[in-house]
Amino acid sequence: MGDAYSADEIFRIGIEIEKNGQAFYEEAARRSTDPACRKVFADLANWERQHVAVFEELRAAAVGAPPVGLEDQLGEVESYLKAIADTHVFVRRHDPAALAAGCQSPAEALEAAIGFEKDSVVVYSSMRHLVPERLGRDKIEALIDEELRHMAILQDLLARQPR
């Protein structure tokens, strides 16, 4: 099996994704000319802030926990998590505020946000397989559900944008 992730490392990935998402949404709200988009982006920034707190709680509760992982011989789930986390826009070394600033329209910002939320669902779905019940798998599952709701909100707003 490949190197096992510590719970701390897994939860740090989530914290980084959520903090960067918060920065993106704060900047998108600040720059949005559409009042409905501005409100949704501001709400999303607040929700991302709450997600940071969830991951920080999980991380604190997991201090000293042994590495986590499945009993797969190839470490496939861990390798998959690393690969998708490394390609998530909010994990790579991008400036999320600059990404928001680069959006030329509310629709473009919404499309970017939908992509980020989809990426988060994929990352957190992989995490769910690595995080044991005792370390908060149910909280990861709740975050996945919230990210799916965020995507639906964004998609609905995008559908109402002029083209």
Q: Mean pLDDT across the stretch 138-142? A: 92
Whether 2 contacts 79, CB under 8 Å = yes
Give the integer Cα–Cα distance in Å for 53 and 46.
11
CATH number given to 7-159: 1.20.1260.10
What pLDDT is attached to residue 71?
47
Q: Mean pLDDT across the stretch 52-77? A: 70
Whether 154 contacts 120, CB under 8 Å = no
What pLDDT is attached to residue 85?
62
67 three-state secondary structure? coil
Instruction: Please write the tens of the pLDDT for every residue from 17-60.
Output: 888 899 999 999 999 999 999 999 999 999 999 999 999 998 88
DSSP H helical ranges for 69-136? 76-87, 96-101, 106-130
Where are the domains positioned within the chain? 7-159
Query: CA dihedral in degrees (46, 50, 55, 60; nearest 10)?
Result: 130
DSSP H helical ranges for 32-105? 35-61, 76-87, 96-101
Give the integer Cα–Cα distance in Å for 113 and 126.
20
Judge residue 32's burial from the number of C-beta atoms within 10 Å of its C-beta, 0-12 exposed, 13-18 middle, 19 or more buried.
buried
Would you say residue 75 has pLDDT above 50? Answer: yes
Would you say residue 2 has pLDDT above 60? Answer: no
Instruction: Please write the tens of the pLDDT for every residue from 84-136.
Output: 666 665 555 578 888 899 999 999 999 999 998 998 998 888 888 878 888 88
Cα torsion 22, 25, 30, 35: sign:
negative
| Mean of the per-residue pLDDT values of the chain | 83
What pLDDT is attached to residue 51?
94
